[in-house]
Amino acid sequence: MRLIGFGDVFAASPNRHDRLSILRVVPLHISRPAFILGIFVATAVPAASAIAADDLVVLRQADMKAMAAAAKVIADMFRNPASYSSAEFAKAAETIEGKSGDVLAGHFAGGLDDPRSKAKPEIGAERDRFDRLASDLRDYARSLGADAADNPGPMTDRMRMRPGEAMGGGPLGTYVRNKAELSSITAEHVFHLMLQTCATCHARFRVGQ
């Protein structure tokens, strides 16, 4: 497990020997200036067929892996706009939306003291804050899905960050006050806020920062 810094995202890479999926770091070079903190994910999780329905630790590790792979799909399209596909962009956003919000919060409802878990006990003590971050992640993913629907052809300038575009809440901000404000900012900006939300959550609620 490692912190992804400026301009880094994760990519999934299969391990042929032990049915584990290893995540490697791939640099993200976005043409417009942006402040990306990044995200954490588990470096390995069991294959989906081996996950028990009541094993919250493994379920949330699998969710993190899936969201990391989806984030890489989106990041690659911003890095190389010619590769943009509205359908693939929307699919990646839907993956993150479906594994965040109440789903993500629910997968941290227990197992906080499991020795396999890197979750801090502060999640229980600061449940409202954790749940809000999970909801923010869902809202940003939903917004990206709407952007994909609004841009069915090539990636347009409307999706890219504008020079000097301020990040919500300051350089470390992760919160947009309302849906109207969220709809007024570019998709690339929303994506950066999504990554910052992940980094903020892990900095506060994951052991080993």
Q: Read off the CATH number of the domain in which 62 is found.
A: 1.20.120.10
Q: Which residues contact 27 (CB under 8 A, 6 or more apart)?
A: 7, 8
Name the domain count of the chain.
1
For the ranges 38-47, 53-62, 119-128, 163-172, the maximum mean pLDDT occurs at: 119-128
* Angstrom distance (rounded) from CA 117 to CA 208: 11
**What mean pLDDT is reported for the chain?**
75
Stretch 180-202: mean pLDDT, rounded? 88
pLDDT digits (tens, 9 = 90+) for 63-121: 999 999 999 999 999 999 999 999 999 999 999 999 999 999 999 988 888 888 888 98
For residue 2, being part of any structural domain is answered with no
For residue 3, being part of any structural domain is answered with no
For residue 67, being part of any structural domain is answered with yes
Q: For residue 17, what are the domain limits?
A: 8-205
For residue 173, being part of any structural domain is answered with yes
DSSP-based three-state secondary structure for 188? helix
% of the chain residues with pLDDT over 70: 66
* Angstrom distance (rounded) from CA 42 to CA 63: 10
For residue 39, being part of any structural domain is answered with yes
* Burial class, 39, CB count within 10 angstroms (exposed 0-12 / middle 13-18 / buried 19+): buried
pLDDT digits (tens, 9 = 90+) for 23-58: 233 334 443 333 333 433 333 344 444 445 468 889
For residue 63, being part of any structural domain is answered with yes
For residue 94, being part of any structural domain is answered with yes
Q: Which residues pair with 206 in a beta bridge?
A: 119
- 123 pLDDT more than 70: yes
Q: Would you state the pLDDT for residue 177?
A: 59
For residue 191, being part of any structural domain is answered with yes
* Angstrom distance (rounded) from CA 62 to CA 44: 9
The residue with tokens 């992640």 is: 137
| Nearest Cα residue to 206 out of 53, 64, 25 | 64
